[in-house]
Amino acid sequence: MIKAAARFGRKKSTRLFKDFYVEWIETLKTNLLPLLRRSILVSSSNQLSTHVQMIQHHFQNYYLTLDLAASEDVSQLLFPIWRNSLEKPFLWVGDFHPNLFTNLLRSFLNNNSSDEEIDNTHIEKSSNFPLVWKYPSKNLMNKIEQIECGLRSMVPTLVTRYRKSHSKFLDKCGLNWINCESKQEILKTVEKDLMVEIEELVGVFLDANRLRRSVLTEIIGATDIYQAALYLEGLAQFFVGFSDGELLHEFEQCKIPLSGI
């Protein structure tokens, strides 16, 4: 019901977000990510800076397009039947959870802080600048702690808003339904109540998306060019990995008994 009502009173999108997403992933996979990797191998600061900016802009465009899609039809994001089974466990209010951004950064930092010596695997992975995570700046460490603190506060707040919106709709709709005398009156009343909730859901989604976008921007702003390159390479691999057919097939074939959870 909510999914259908989300389209009422809004300009219908000429292009579904899922179509944009397919093209966005393909561009990231076949064009931008290979360019960034070549720059990492060559270790040219000018090329590296250019390709870091290109991928950063690509992600910013992704979140701006999400905002537009939500304003036109938020149901395609909050109830995304087009997402595959690998993506869905990581979704939060219509897209990937912002904790994924901080967890990825922590994985780079913790990989070096746990050992005094850098292992050969990490040296190979980090190409021509393996020491970039060995001695992170105080600014970067302070920033990640600030971001994580903010997420611990803002994520529950948005979840509460989302739940209250549903609860308010159910209470109001149930009461109004009882007081209606005809089917036409019921439909009109329910549609009106739904539109109020849809507006709130759009607001929650836009705030959640703003949070995702700001977390990514703050992380990149706190890293140097070499750290940003490795971080964005890892983030791009994460997004691209969801469209890996073999990985998706293996995941869907994996059977975990409920008794083992």
The Cα 13–Cα 203 span in angstroms is 18
Answer whether 232's CB lies under 8 Å from 49's CB.
no
Residue 250's pLDDT band (cuts 50, 70, 90)? confident
Three-class DSSP category at 22: helix
pLDDT digits (tens, 9 = 90+) for 88-125: 999 999 999 999 999 999 999 987 655 544 444 444 44
Q: Residue 82 has what pLDDT?
A: 92
Q: Residue 9 has what pLDDT?
A: 43
Reported pTM: 0.81
Q: Residue 112 has what pLDDT?
A: 62
At residue 120, what is the residue type? N
Contacting residues for 194 by C-beta, under 8 A, at least 6 apart? 1, 2, 5, 8, 169, 173
Is residue 189's pLDDT more than 50?
yes
Q: Residue 261 has what pLDDT?
A: 43
pLDDT digits (tens, 9 = 90+) for 26-79: 999 999 999 999 999 887 788 999 999 999 999 999 999 999 999 998 889 988
Which candidate, 215, 216, 238, 208, places its Cα nearest to that of 86? 238
Is residue 13's pLDDT more than 90?
no
Is residue 157's pLDDT more than 90?
yes
Give mean pLDDT, residues 144-166: 93
pLDDT digits (tens, 9 = 90+) for 164-178: 877 776 666 655 555
Q: In residues, how long is the chain?
A: 261
Domain ranges of the chain: 16-245
DSSP 120-161: HHHHHHTTT-TTTTTS--HHHHHHHHHHHHHHHHHHHHHHHH
Answer whether 225's CB lies under 8 Å from 189's CB.
no
Q: Angle between the 183-222 and 225-241 helix axes, to the nearest 10 degrees? A: 140
